[in-house]
Amino acid sequence: MTDTAVVYDDSALMAYAHGQIGAAELISEVNAEGRHVGVPSTCLAAALAELTDEWDIMQLMRLVRTKTVVILPLAAHDANGDPAEAVRQVSEFARLADCELTVGHAVAEAIAHQAYYVTAKPGRAMEALPPSWPILDLSPVRLVSDLMGVAPVATTAARPALSSEVDQGAGEPDGEAKMPSAVQPMLATPGPVPTSGEWGYEFKWDGVRTIAYVDGGEVKLLTRTHDDVTETYPELAVLGRLFADRRVVLDGEIVALGRNGLPSFPVLQQRMRTRRPTNHLLRTLPVRFYAFDLLYLDGTDFMPLSYVERRDALQRLDVSGDTVDTPPYWTGDVGSALIATARELGLEGVMAKRLSSPYQPGRRSPAWVKTPLTRTIQVVVGGYKPGGGRRAGTIGSLLVGMYKPNGELAYVGNINAGLSEATLRDLHERLDELRAPASPFDEAVPRDHAREAHWVRPVLVADVNFRSWTVDRRLRQPSWQGLRGDVEPADVRLPQ
């Protein structure tokens, strides 16, 4: 076992089996180098327990078939389990994969030969492993950034900064600021990626915009509409442990990753509907918090500072772990490269933020520009038509609108695509409670759409994908994406 050169944990195995963006390619490159593979026994057992798709299991077999699989009981990871039982659980898998199964405590040998520990959960690995063991990070935000091919802005310090150091470095005035309790997020204006001037560029993540408040280890999560979602995402309580006795306010996005390792709003919706998730849901549909702005830290109000100063202080805090991360940002002439990478990966788009801009709570500012790559907008549900055939007894299509600058609700189309049976049942229950005697739209709805329509109060907001606008300002080929509990109906504006 002295030639063991790489060790995969269960998160790496799952990433490979699911074909996660970047992970499968990277692992394939490692295997092509002829390295022998080590897999902690409980890690392989955990991956097998999670995989239900036959194709995924075959992928895993292909991986372990490439070289000898050394089953390594890993002390910290296996502390609550029985390594011998784990070996028994995976022995049949090893037989089916036609690979050699070697049982032994080979961690020391692996360290001596500088074996890479490959994981999509580096936080757990850093706690379990000696500091000298090199870790290959497969977390999606790192792989996506690596695919850019352009180095992000570097962190100026590799450790959490003391508040006094942040204050001095940022040139803050003396005196302690009160920690805010309800910051209204700064918003971006839509537009093409700016190419002139000094800008910072980030990927646009498809999730729920959230302000995180951490005070003495206690965490509170508020959405744009000030809904408290702390209990909905209990795994983000890790922020309290990361900051211990510090006080901090972060702006960021709660995301859920699809099988490809990229943020997926439909996946996140399955968590948004559940106020108090079960342990099964927490395990099968975990979320992450991507922090991209620092608003307050230990008595210092960072909002008046420039974007680049806030970002530098945020990166020095090293907000990272298995459920939280700080995505990188780029400066210079990288806008077109970022757009191309976002398009290739299927990300939502790109954000550009003027380096000198302060944080302006609640303002939709030209200092922040969002460039979405998919044509996704928010709409307000104003009614529905009853379904027929397979949709009999439920919803056939949804009648939706957007608000004009004068406050009138304009009708923009009807939606019947993208609605699953579970979504239809959920919407039918919600809309039945919102029934209204007349149309909420301030203009006539086309007769064929209005016929037999059931009208509702316009309080539900949803994401919709569409191909283009028609000449009469209707959505062409709209497809339902999901409800948005973090957006007020009045903020859904018809583009001019």
User: What is the H or E stretch that residue 8 is in?
Assistant: strand 4-8
What's the one-letter identity of residue 60?
L
| Residue 434 and residue 459 in contact, taking contact as beta carbons nearer than 8 Å | yes
Determine the angle formed by the axes of helices 10-17 and 41-50, rounding to 10 degrees.
Answer: 40
- The answer to whether residue 220 is catalytic is no
Query: Cα separations (Å) of 99 from 28, 95, 96, 115, 472?
Result: 17, 6, 8, 20, 63
What HEC string does 246-259 produce? Answer: CEEEEEEEEEEECC
Q: Are 395 and 420 in contact (CB under 8 A)?
A: no
Residue 355 · residue 329 · CB < 8 Å? no
Place of tokens 């570097």: 154
Burial of 402 (0-12, 13-18, 19+ CB in 10 A): buried
Helix axes 54-65, 83-96, angle to 10 degrees: 90
Residues 473/493, Cβ–Cβ less than 8 Å: no
The answer to whether 422 and 483 have CB atoms below 8 angstroms apart is no
The closest of 152, 454, 127, 471 to 315, measured between CA atoms, is: 152
- Other C-beta atoms lying within 10 Å of the C-beta of residue 317: 22
The radius of gyration of the chain from alpha carbons, rounded to an integer in Å, stands at 25
Is the Cβ–Cβ distance between 483 and 419 less than 8 Å? no
Cα angle 87, 92, 93; round to 5: 90
Which tokens belong to 292? 């991209």
Q: Among 67, 121, 178, 204, which one carries the catalytic annotation?
A: 204
Q: Is the dihedral of CA 487, 435, 268, 19 positive or negative?
A: negative
CA distances from 286 to 74, 97, 256, 312, 460 (A): 24, 29, 6, 28, 25
> How would DSSP label each residue in 463-485?
EEE-SEE-TTS-EES-EEEEE-T
Interhelix angle for 10-17 vs 23-32, to 10°? 110
Name the β-bridge partners of 290.
Answer: 253, 325
DSSP classification of residue 491:
G
Active site residues: 204
